[in-house]
Structure 1
Amino acid sequence: MSVKIKAVSKALPEFSRTTAEIIPFLDAWLIDQDDRFIRKVKKIFENAAVDQRYSFMSPDEVFSDLSFEERNDIYIREGIKLGSECLKSALEKASWKPEDLDYIITVSCTGIMIPSLDAYLINALKLRQDIVRLPVTEMGCAAGVSGMIYAKNFLKANPGKRAAVIAVESPTATLQIQDFSMANIVSAAIFGDGAACVLLSSNEGDEGPEILAEEMYHFYDAEEMMGFRLTNTGLQMVLDVEVPETIAEHFPQIIHPFLAKSNLEIKDIDHLIFHPGGKKIIQVVESLFGELGKNINDTKEVLRLYGNMSSATVLFVLERFLDSKPKPGDYGLMLSFGPGFSAQRILLKW
């Protein structure tokens, strides 16, 4: 019994700005800072390899003194809207009806909502009343792949079933307007908002790339490297400058033993479906794999077009690969990183 990816679909918020259009908002935000610091911040934005960002909020709202409650209310309202949109779109791609779903997983880390998003989607699309729910929070950028791993394990244990993983994120809602730390600045420069849905199946009649293997990899003593602090003004970004170097140090342990369990090497992998954590992480990956003739052009393009949308981003990359229709027999490696610190991996075969 195999588990396959049937369809992937994305949804984007109504607000978007190019990097050039964001610069005037930086001037207003940083008006009381010294000129040298302002120039440094602008350079970070201009060199982030992000040409455009989408947002649940207008730029005026993003760079305003909205309270945590007000920002979170927007996150909830727009998250339900985008989550519904991408789930509907994915079901249409798959030619599935809402009642065909047996399992729904929602992932997000950039806001707080109880009931969780899945409850709203059940009502909005009239999913089955006996559908199994799993809301996943607090796993950050890794949660898109984590959700797929949970779905795969459910489907493997339940032949003939179908699952949806929906990732909805609004990192712009977490901007701390009074925080001028590098973590907050870099976060504002690389992150954007978006939603994506991936449909998976253990139904023999459904076609798509098969999930051959999946694993999580946990870094010891690295809890403080990435995440959020819950403060009176909202979710404050924690982002250690050592993240790219730490990832580079662990790459051999993350990649090679995982592939070896399937009797494969990195040279056998045709498609690298990597989460674009940021420009520096992309440079690390290219330095490690470039000599092997591997590229992460789709990863770079997703970062350029949308920014890092936390857990949803790797699903944007996956959609590009599915749309390009790889050859039968091709292998793909999905990889994302998140708080903990952890790496999540999935091996695909078309």
Structure 2
Amino acid sequence: MAPRAYLTARPLAFGHLLRQEDGVAWMKAALQRVAETAPVPDLDRALRLYDLLGRRSAIDTRRTALEDYAHQDWDRMRVHAAPPSGDGQVGGGAAPWYRASLDARMAVFAETAEAIAHDAFAGDAEPPDALLQVSCTGYDSPSAVQRLVAARGWADRTRLLSVGHMGCYAALPALATAADLATATAARAVAAGDEPGGAALGGADARTSVLLVEVCTLHHHPATTDPDRIVQQVLFADGAARLDVTVQPPPGPHFALLDHFEAILPDTLDEMTWRPADGGFAMTLSREVPAHIRAHVAGAFGAFLARNGLEVDDLDVLAVHPGGPRVIESTAEALGVGEDRVRHSQGVLRERGNMSSTTLPHIWDRVLQDDDVPAGALVGSVAFGPGLTVTGNLLRKGGGAVGQ
């Protein structure tokens, strides 16, 4: 299998790293504070659910861009701050502190994304040929990557593209698009006579970078007692990553991208949704999603592998997007894969939680850094999102001079 392109992945640190137990304690304290001034139906049940999920989430630590979650000094909150007239409980038109506006949430997203973009590319002397920004948790225009290339003087040298609202699986189509852009850029250079041609574009190279930023904690609702929303708030965290996709193999640990697929599972369009709402983005997530995964993922992923002459047993690592522990378990069970081959997904869930589209890049980096996964190892990636969409790719690990 000839590689479509080559990939390196780098997680980007930012914000505050919290123990899961501290994050859950904050959510419980916030809900109890709401109850001091407003009726909260099912309060006790919600508090018990937080305790149960905190124990069963398989998460030890996770990151948030928002300092609010790092303390319980309510006078120092930013997004979850009391309005100027007080808590908004009596008189006036101000919303209460636990109903933060979408404006306030998006202001934090814009600030966070721009800072991450500048940090991620601070060491780059040369711009990428193309740069994609991926997020489903925030909107800002001009975007972080627009502001980056304007500040760096790259605006006339770098093509820009935003990939939005695809959800947890977005890293996969973004990577496939980045590979197509890099290959097309190199081919144009050959056609123009700027680079030597020949097999696999000869020595021509091009680079597309992908910046993924997800600030899931911006969309928490402190007053909720809805069980599904509580599950989401316990699982989802913030994350960022940078991918670099090139036509020629880079030095050091990397992957060759061999193939990619996308499919929509039958009769599942409303099983997972993600929409802007009055105060923040709102998700619906059916409890039947793990069952749909068990029922359908083997057929979709198996057909993808078969067109490459492979079976699941040929894979050394299965990089499953960890929507939660049940998603990893359901996928591994459906594909007949033991825990050892999904250990990188379990490790990222444990250390970072579900970071939406930035999670698979963290898993890919973990595989690249794992000396027990040798050069030449085959890695199958699979992720899920609204649709119910299943996506996947096939990677081969390389390193040093290994390019194929």
Q: How does 1:322-337 map to 2 (within 5 A)?
A: 322-325=368-371, 326-337=373-384
Q: Which structure has the larger Rg? A: 2
Q: Is contact 2:28-2:50 (8 Å) kept?
A: no
Secondary structure of the 1:5 match is strand
Q: Indicate yes or no: 2:109 matched with 1:75.
A: yes
Aligned to 1:132: 159
Q: Is contact 1:117-1:135 (8 Å) kept?
A: no
In 2, Cα distance between the equivalents of 1:137 and 1:67? 21
1:293 CA displacement: 7.3
Q: Is contact 2:46-2:225 (8 Å) kept?
A: no
TM (normalized to structure 1)?
0.90
Aligned to 1:179: 224
Aligned to 1:146: 173
Q: How does 1:197-216 map to 2 (within 5 A)?
A: 197-203=242-248, 208-216=254-262
Q: Is contact 1:219-1:342 (8 Å) kept?
A: yes
1:81 CA displacement: 1.2
In 1, Cα distance between the equivalents of 2:251 and 2:130? 16
Range with bigger deviation, 16-25 or 268-277: 16-25
In 2, Cα distance between the equivalents of 1:327 and 1:252? 26
1:285 CA displacement: 2.4
Letter in 2 for 1:37: A
In 1, Cα distance between the equivalents of 2:121 and 2:4? 19
Secondary structure of the 1:46 match is helix
Aligned to 1:5: 6
Letter in 1 for 2:374: K
Q: Is contact 1:83-1:195 (8 Å) kept?
A: no
Aligned to 1:107: 134
Letter in 1 for 2:185: N
The structure-2 alpha-carbon separation of the partners of 1:144 and 1:219, relative to structure 1 and needing over 3 Å to count, comes to same
Structure 2 gap segments, 5+ residues each: 36-41, 81-96, 187-204, 398-404
Range with bigger deviation, 164-173 or 112-121: 112-121
1:153 CA displacement: 1.9
Aligned to 2:302: 256
Q: Indicate yes or no: 2:12 matched with 1:16.
A: no
Q: Indicate yes or no: 2:50 matched with 1:41.
A: yes
Aligned residues between the structures: 343
The structure-2 alpha-carbon separation of the partners of 1:87 and 1:222, relative to structure 1 and needing over 3 Å to count, comes to farther
Percent identity over the alignment is 25
The structure-2 alpha-carbon separation of the partners of 1:290 and 1:97, relative to structure 1 and needing over 3 Å to count, comes to farther
Aligned to 2:198: none
Q: Indicate yes or no: 2:31 matched with 1:30.
A: yes
Q: Indicate yes or no: 2:333 matched with 1:287.
A: yes
Give deviations 1:122-146, integer Å, cap 9, x for gaps: 1344435231111000100011111
Q: Is contact 2:275-2:282 (8 Å) kept?
A: yes
The structure-2 alpha-carbon separation of the partners of 1:264 and 1:290, relative to structure 1 and needing over 3 Å to count, comes to closer
In 1, Cα distance between the equivalents of 2:256 and 2:117? 25
The structure-2 alpha-carbon separation of the partners of 1:76 and 1:265, relative to structure 1 and needing over 3 Å to count, comes to same
Secondary structure of the 1:153 match is helix
Aligned to 1:56: 65
Aligned to 2:125: 97
The structure-2 alpha-carbon separation of the partners of 1:258 and 1:6, relative to structure 1 and needing over 3 Å to count, comes to closer
Letter in 2 for 1:103: A
Q: How does 1:179-328 map to 2 (within 5 A)?
A: 179-203=224-248, 208-289=254-335, 295-325=341-371, 326-328=373-375
Q: Is contact 2:63-2:238 (8 Å) kept?
A: yes
Q: Root-mean-square deviation (CA), in Å?
A: 2.2
Aligned to 1:347: 394
Structure 1 gap segments, 5+ residues each: none
In 1, Cα distance between the equivalents of 2:27 and 2:249? 53
Secondary structure of the 2:341 match is coil
TM (normalized to structure 2)?
0.79
Q: Is contact 2:293-2:334 (8 Å) kept?
A: no
Letter in 2 for 1:46: R
In 1, Cα distance between the equivalents of 2:320 and 2:101? 34
